[in-house]
């Protein structure tokens, strides 16, 4: 049985998870775009859809689950996912849970993957006390949040994920306000602190592939009526480089980050959040302890030389204060912001799980 989802073939498989076989087939497809291209051999990232063929079927309360692999190195991307999502949660941000799994397809071992919780209606209900609003996962070009018109058809890749349908009135209003409103108006339709936390966390974790630079890898959720918050996604490219603060200055593509950081009070709050993240969940001590725990859990499946390679990558600052100072908007004086307008059935899958 073959279907198509997000332009990718989806097939029916039988799943055995931690020794237990599900009663019905599940849907399995390759996941991502660049990750698929960069994957080597047969270890492609996968998305599991538990209720595709049996409505209401879940696995431990989940309708979907992502299996991320090591697309650009034997183990580093799964570690980056695991460490960074953990840091987001430690900082109090609603972010996906992770665990490791060894994966087999049709009896062939594919190695260690990291399981990443899907951000969907179930996720929203677990994290927000009164879930009711729309959940989006934008991609380029709509992901810049630039205003393109008053119809949702003007935003073809805005990516409504939950619920199944919407009139999109709240989002369209928010985008219009972002385009023409004052800072105070924008604060009424976007949660400024949540957005600044998203920026600070991505900078602290050395993640460049995110909203202000590429206009994707985030979720936009209407947490309260008419007001949106931003949630992190896709951290497998994090912890590769030192924090680079030019990505969070007003001259970059992300219109929302531009508009917020133009206001001195929000820039001050951003620096405070960045400093706090670097000193707590994004600190070398916290991340190293979590890396040590992962290495102990995975044992020989995680070669010691690769753990050390991750430790040596230049993603840690010498001190938070120095890096916070480098985020000063005076460094962009004289630079012009960029235009707001740019911006077949399978036999079986088996997973053995390791958690911590």
Within a domain: 249: yes
Within a domain: 45: yes
The whole domain housing 225 covers: 129-282
- Which tens digit of pLDDT belongs to each residue from 221-258? 999 999 999 999 999 888 876 555 555 554 456 899 99
Mark whether 139 and 86 lie in a shared domain: no
Mark whether 160 and 258 lie in a shared domain: yes
Secondary structure (3-state) at 161? strand
- Which tens digit of pLDDT belongs to each residue from 101-153? 999 988 888 888 999 999 999 999 999 988 889 999 999 889 999 999 999 99
Within a domain: 313: no
Mark whether 21 and 64 lie in a shared domain: yes
State how many domains the chain has: 2
pTM, whole model, 2 decimals? 0.86
What span, in angstroms and rounded, lies between the C-alpha atoms of 110 and 158? 33
Mark whether 205 and 239 lie in a shared domain: yes
Burial 246-282 (b: 16+ CB within 10 A, else e): ebbbbebbbbbbbbbbebeebbebbbebbbbbbebbb
Q: What is the pLDDT at residue 180?
A: 96
Within a domain: 318: no
Mark whether 87 and 148 lie in a shared domain: no
Mark whether 38 and 96 lie in a shared domain: yes
Mark whether 92 and 45 lie in a shared domain: yes
Mark whether 173 and 86 lie in a shared domain: no
């Amino acid at each position: 049985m073959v279907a198509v989802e997000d332009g990718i073939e989806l097939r029916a498989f039988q799943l055995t998870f931690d020794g237990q076989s599900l009663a019905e087939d599940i849907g399995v497809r390759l996941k991502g775009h660049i990750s698929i291209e960069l994957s080597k051999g047969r270890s492609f990232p996968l998305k599991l859809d538990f209720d595709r063929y049996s409505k209401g079927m879940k696995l431990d309360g989940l309708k979907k689950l992502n299996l991320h692999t090591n697309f650009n190195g034997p183990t580093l991307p799964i570690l980056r996912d695991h460490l960074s999502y953990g840091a987001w949660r430690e900082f109090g941000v609603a972010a996906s849970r992770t665990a490791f799994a060894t994966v087999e397809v049709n009896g062939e071992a594919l190695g260690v993957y990291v399981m990443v919780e899907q951000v969907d209606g179930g996720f929203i209900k677990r994290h927000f006390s009164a879930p009711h609003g729309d959940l989006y996962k934008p991609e380029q070009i709509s992901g810049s949040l630039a205003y393109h018109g008053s119809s949702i058809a003007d935003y073809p890749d805005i990516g409504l994920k939950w619920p199944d349908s919407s009139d999109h009135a709240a989002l369209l209003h928010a985008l219009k306000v972002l385009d023409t409103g004052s800072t105070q108006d924008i604060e009424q339709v976007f949660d400024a602190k949540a957005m600044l936390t998203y920026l600070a966390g991505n900078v602290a974790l050395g993640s460049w592939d995110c909203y202000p630079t590429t206009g994707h890898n985030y979720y936009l959720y209407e947490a309260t009526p008419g007001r949106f918050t931003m949630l992190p996604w896709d951290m497998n490219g994090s912890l590769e480089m030192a924090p680079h603060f030019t990505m969070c200055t007003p001259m970059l593509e992300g219109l929302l980050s531009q508009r917020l950081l133009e206001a001195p009070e929000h820039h001050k709050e951003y620096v405070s959040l960045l400093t706090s993240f670097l000193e707590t969940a994004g600190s070398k001590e916290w991340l190293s302890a979590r890396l040590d725990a992962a290495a102990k859990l995975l044992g020989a499946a995680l070669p010691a030389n690769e753990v050390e390679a991750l430790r040596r990558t230049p993603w840690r600052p010498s001190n938070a204060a120095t890096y916070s100072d480098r985020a000063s908007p005076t460094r962009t004086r004289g630079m012009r912001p960029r235009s707001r307008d740019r911006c077949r059935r399978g036999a079986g899958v088996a997973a053995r799980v390791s958690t911590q």
